Amino acid sequence: MSKSKKKASKEWEPNIVTFCCNWCSYAGADLAGVSRFQYPPNIRIIRVMCSGRVDPTFLLKALKDGADGVLLSGCHIGDCHYISGNEYTDERFKKLHKIIIKQLGIDEKRVRLEWVSASEGKRWSEVVTEFTNQIKKLGPFKKSN
Amino acid sequence: MTQMKKKGEIKPVFSDNEVYMDKIYEPKMRKLLRRCYQCARCSGICQLSKVQKFTPSRIIQEILEGFEEKIITSGILNDCLTCNSCLQNCPEDVNFADIVRMARYKMRQRDAQCLDDSIAHKAMYTTISELMSYSHMEPKRDLSWVPKECEISDTGEIMYFVGCQPYFKFEFDELDNVPSDTLKIISKIEDKPIVVRKDESCCGHDLYWGQGKFEAFIDLAKKNYELFERAGVSTIITSCAEGYRTLKVEYSKLFDDFSDKFEVKHVLEYIYEKWKQGEIEFKNPDDKLVDVQFTYHDPCRLNRFLPKESTLIEDIREMFGKLKSLGYSFNEMEHNKKNALCCGVSSWMNCNERSKALRYKRLLEAKAAGTTMVTSCPKCILHFSCLQNDFEDIASIEIKDVSEFFVNLIHKVEKKKEVK
């Protein structure tokens, strides 16, 4: 534990907040763990019952309070446990990107929406690896400090 | 421990922030209240007291007697509308809204009360303001709303300070025309291109009055001050009442030379001045007579919050009176001018059934006065038109911004003297 922290202080590691829906993405992440697919340890998963629960404010607040990237993940369109929750998410997310993230001057790659189902453990590890590498390339969100 | 240290590192530390802080914050609230002699006029006039239990005079007395801690932990001051009606009627000029502002800062510091619970729209727009206050953030605004006939530039003399209106598009579409119409009016009158900046930040009004985040407000103010200097502007025009108040009063409190360097005008004030100078006249687009009964809602920031010497409230009524020849007859609402009722929400605080009752009352007054309600505060428009979705009887009122109202009426007077 202490060793890993010492390592982190030497080299910058991104902090990524991830919102996962309970029925698909969280189970998908679970499957990735059970099947021992490797992915970087930079993500912190917050479980929500549906991706529709995630208010756009949560994503902005995460960035405000020190996250370098935010990943929102839910069931594929049509597979939502609550029938249409993820359709609302999709709509809201597009608007958030177009009107707020873009106009604030935040790099659009820092905030991402992905659909991962419960059976896609492999895909989950790929998505997280790719997203973490992308954030690492972009550097810390708060460059001044 | 290591985490604590890391958190400390993230917060930007500015050495001169304390100097600015002293100008806008007084930790000893009792100092500001000593003049109060409990005439309780504030409690009588308070608009919130009509819909819930809220007595400013009693709160003042409790603070004076040493129960400041109790007032702050109870969170009662979160409910205040900061509409300033109490100051308007106070014989001793005790500024209760200022006390509320400082108390909210204290609440933030102590984590005694989670303010975020009472912020409307889950604090979306205040989070945006805070994000903009970070020094590394460079907003890249979308300027596609600029009309084709208007010329804009990055530097110049006259600037149009757009404010947060482009961000409100996320949930509302009532304000889509306000920035473009304002720009149309200004460029009709001025010959030179108008300065509209892509990297303009929020003015910080909501952080200052509602959220008690003075540090972020100071950072925003500094950012904007630098921006104005970089653009080389001398006149700043805004179409937002809250932005007007913040730029005109709060920024000149922070920076001693702000009022000397920049002249801040609301678009309504600007239209009045140009009309008085004879540069513009009011004409219907096709010279057709119309028959419109309209009324004007005074937003608190362009009314009770104005400096005492300002005559803007009377001036605009003079201008509205002249519109009668075009068929626009102006009617006053029951409560008008300095006694105008509040729209019920300020700085995105407290959108609840009590504040909705206040808004409903105001819209009923508007309905009695005419079919169109003109106002000069974009947020008032949002709050009112949001309530119109809930109640059918007030849905017929047309709510317009001053810029939308004037854009087709203003015509530039051609200078005939030069031709002779």
The pLDDT assigned to B420 comes to: 44
Let me know if residue B159 belongs to a domain: yes
8 Å CB contact of B131 and A143: no
CA gap B219, B14 in Å, rounded: 9
For residue A118, the distance in angstroms to the closest alpha carbon of chain B comes to 30
Give the structural domain span for A54. Answer: 13-138
The answer to whether position B419 is within a domain reads: no
- Among the candidates B69, B93, B113, a domain finishes at B113
Cβ A105–B139 below 8 Å, yes or no? yes
Helix, strand or coil for residue B296?
strand
User: Dihedral angle at the C-alpha atoms of A106, A111, A112, A113, nearest 10 degrees?
Assistant: -120
The answer as to whether B348 is a domain residue is yes
pLDDT, residue A4, reads: 55
Q: Cβ B124–A5 below 8 Å, yes or no?
A: no
| Same-domain pairing of B318 and B251 | no
Residue closest to A113 by CA, chosen among A76, A64, A80: A76
Interface of B with A (CB under 8 A): 2, 7, 9-10, 12, 121-124, 127-128, 130-132, 134-142, 166-167, 169-170, 199
Quote the tokens at residue B321. Answer: 């009176």
Note whether B306 and B220 are same-domain residues.
no
Same domain, B131 and B29: no
Could you tell me if B203 and B190 lie in one domain? yes
Which residues does residue B412 pair with via DSSP β-bridges, in sequence order?
B280
pLDDT reading at A3 higher than 70: no
Q: Please report residues of B whose CB lies closer than 8 A to that of A5.
A: 2
Nearest chain B Cα distance for residue A121, angstroms: 31
Residue B131 sits in the same domain as residue B258: yes
The number of distinct structural domains making up chain B is 3
Structural domain includes residue B383: yes
Our measurement of the distance from residue B20's CA atom to the centroid of its chain's CA atoms, rounded to an integer in Å, reads: 22
Cα–Cα distance between B406 and B413 in angstroms, integer?
15
Most B CBs within 10 A among A103, A106, A143, A144, hence the mutation to make, goes to A103
Q: Is residue A102 part of a domain?
A: yes
Do the Cβ atoms of B10 and A66 come within 8 Å? yes
In chain A, whose CA is at the least distance from the CA of B166? A99
So what's the pLDDT on residue B123?
Answer: 86
Please report, for the domain that includes residue A87, its CATH number.
3.40.50
Name the domain boundary from B113, B137, B171: B113
B15 by Cβ neighbours in 10 Å (0-12 / 13-18 / 19+) ranks as exposed
- Closest Cβ opposite residue A103 in set B7, B12, B140: B140
Domain boundary among B260, B275, B290: B275
Assigned domain for A117 exists: yes
Whether residues B307 and B231 fall in one domain: no
Strands (E), B152-291: 152-153, 158-161, 194-195, 235-238, 263-266, 280-282
Look at residue B114 in the predicted model and tell me its pLDDT: 64
- Total domains in chain A come to 1
Instruction: Give the domain CATH number at B187.
Output: 3.40.50
Spatial contact of B228 and B221, defined as CB atoms under 8 Å apart:
no
Q: Are B135 and B266 within one domain?
A: yes
How crowded is residue B321: how many other Cβ atoms within 10 Å of its Cβ? 12
Residue B247: predicted pLDDT: 93
Chain B environment of A104 (Cβ under 8 Å):
128, 131-132, 137, 139-140
pLDDT tens string A29-54: 999 999 999 999 999 999 999 999 99
Contact A55 B122 (CB under 8 A): yes
| CATH code where residue B84 lies | 1.10.1060
% of chain A residues with pLDDT over 70: 91
Q: Is residue B418 in some structural domain?
A: no
Distance separating alpha carbons of residues B166 and B357, to the nearest angstrom: 28
**pLDDT tens-digit map of B319-331:** 999 899 888 999 9
Q: Show the domain range for B363.
A: 280-412
CA distance A38 to chain B (A): 26
Q: Are residues B268 and B295 in the same domain?
A: no
Q: Which positions of chain B have pLDDT values less than 50?
A: 1-3, 5-10, 12-13, 419-420
Domain identity same for B101 and B133: no
- For the stretch A78-107, pLDDT in tens is 999 999 999 999 999 999 999 999 999 999
> Which band of pLDDT confidence, cut at 50, 70 and 90, is reported for residue A6?
low
